[in-house]
Amino acid sequence: MRKYTTEIIIGFIPVLIIFFIYIGQNVVPMLLMGMLGFAVVYAARGKGKLTALSSQKRRVEAKSAPLTFEQIGGQERAKQELVEALDFLVHQEQIAKLGIRPLKGILLSGPPGTGKTLLAKAAAQYTDSIYLAASGSEFVEMYVGVGAGRVRDLFKEARTKANKAKKSSAVIFIDEIEVIGGKRDGGQQREYDQTLNQLLTEMDGIYANESPRILLIAATNRKEMLDSALLRPGRFDRHIGVELPDKKGRLHILNIHANNKPIEEGVDLARIATESFGFSGAQLESVMNEAAIYAMREKSDKIAEAHLSSAIDKVMMGEKTDREASKEERERIALHELGHAIMAELVRPGSVSQVALSPRGQALGYVRHNPQQDQYLYTKQFLNGQIMIALGGAAAEELFYGERSTGSRGDFDQSMNIVRTLVESGLTELGIIDASMMTREAWAAVNRSILDELMLETKSMLESKREVFKMSLNTLLAEETLSGNEFRTLLSKHKAA
């Protein structure tokens, strides 16, 4: 009888409405009350938009192709740390003998595009676990209790799917964990706080003797925003930094993404890895993809080194634009970029990779620099050199036109950011100070002092290279591009003369 209760009620309601209409009763208030009650029950049972994932609409398990750690490049240290942590799930008998408590959570922190999601997928493959993925924004709603309910459902679903698939463990990956795991301010309770409290409770409920075991892997770009209760041992036991790859890592990533692409013989991917200093794994994948697109545009069967160089420019600054400058503007832009290039070669010989007059993105021209080696610590001399390279364009305009243009705005922003780094690192005459205590007037004074002095030095060094400007200008205007070797040849001719 219970099986048909719903059908009987649904069939009885129209009959009841017709009866009330027949006896002359106003049924409109009753209909409104009935609809309101239905909406409340519908939401409470988990069938509406106000609740978490319902039992009828389950989270789709990731069905992507299996991904192993060998297929992820540029993160050897991060992979090593992660594999060591995952072995606690794989070798359960061994860790039980040693009395080791299984890890409950692993936090992956680092810049965007460095492979945090890929590492989580590879972790599920390595441990032969069920893999469920979610984003922090999925748990955020304006309705109270919704986020907490979604957290409960996520962990419940992970256990259910693991039992159904007869797996001993499940991996839950939450991207953008800072959305729900941000620091609590201690004030009025917010929906975010309730969601975080539920997540903390669920993580406390992951015990060593549970089956299936659940490992929570979270990713964030802003670790400093996370609540201390979430970061403590016993919740996120391992904090693994997933940083930008070094030159060796970039080469590894390029080789991985070159496997399914026809690369022309003689292409030096090591040089491309050098030129792509500071690129993330996602950007390197985009470089290989854009290079293939350039090859297709030219109806070429193979990807040449020129395609890869153009792809680096596109990823850095954007696609070429159709903006056409007048002859006078083109000459000014060319002299501006030559000023950057000459200063770069004077300060750090061999660092110029390309001088281009073609507009890309917001830039009317650009100089691509080629760092000789990855560098993570900077001296005052090095940073002063970077400022002089940035000021080289404006200094060249002053030498030849007697005034500057608005094209130097970005260069000045870059220079002032480097000055800020000098001040905060205690590398100026101010000594070791708290930069946050400095007034606007103090910042203006230190910027003016450092930049004016370096601008005079830059103009003095460029003044001695006037002939190089004249020799390079016509070539750059005609060809629109000078490679680093071609530019250094012109410099060597000037030295010989």
Q: Give the residue numbers marked as catalytic.
A: 337
Which pairing describes strands 213-220 and 366-369: parallel, antiparallel, or unpaired?
A: unpaired
3-state helix, strand, coil in the chain (%, to 5): 60, 10, 30
| CA distance linking residue 109 with residue 443, whole number of Å | 32
> Buried (b) or exposed (e) across 331-343, using 16+ Cβ within 10 A?
bbbbbbbbbbbbb
Single-letter amino acid, residue 438 = M
Question: Which of 242, 11, 209, 210 is closest to 111 using CA atoms?
Answer: 242
One-letter amino acid at 42 equals Y
Cβ proximity of 220 and 176 under 8 Å: yes
Closest CA to 346 of 386, 404, 313, 394: 386
The answer to whether 251 and 273 are in contact (CB under 8 A) is: yes
Distance CA 59, CA 174 (A): 13
What residues does 356 pair with on adjacent strands? 366, 481
Where helices occur in 430-465 by DSSP H, the ranges are 440-463
Q: Which of 377, 378, 380, 358 is nearest to 367 (CA)?
A: 358
Whole-angstrom Cα distance, residue 231 to residue 200?
A: 10
Integer angstrom CA distances of residue 44 from 39, 189, 198 = 9, 22, 18
Q: Is 221 in contact with 112 (CB distance < 8 Å)?
A: yes
Can you read off the two tokens belonging to residue 458? 């830059």
Answer yes or no: are the C-beta atoms of 269 and 251 closer than 8 Å.
Answer: yes
Contact of 71 with 256, CB cutoff 8 Å:
yes
Output the CA angle 43-48-51, nearest 5 degrees. 70
Name the CA radius of gyration of the chain, rounded: 31
Please check whether residue 215 is in contact with residue 169, taking contact to mean a CB–CB distance below 8 angstroms. Answer: yes
Distance (Å) of CA 64 to CA 57, 118, 449: 20, 11, 57
Cβ within 8 Å of residue 229, ≥6 positions away: 196, 200, 235
Residue with tokens 């060249």: 396
Torsion angle (degrees, nearest 10) of CA 444, 446, 450, 452:
40
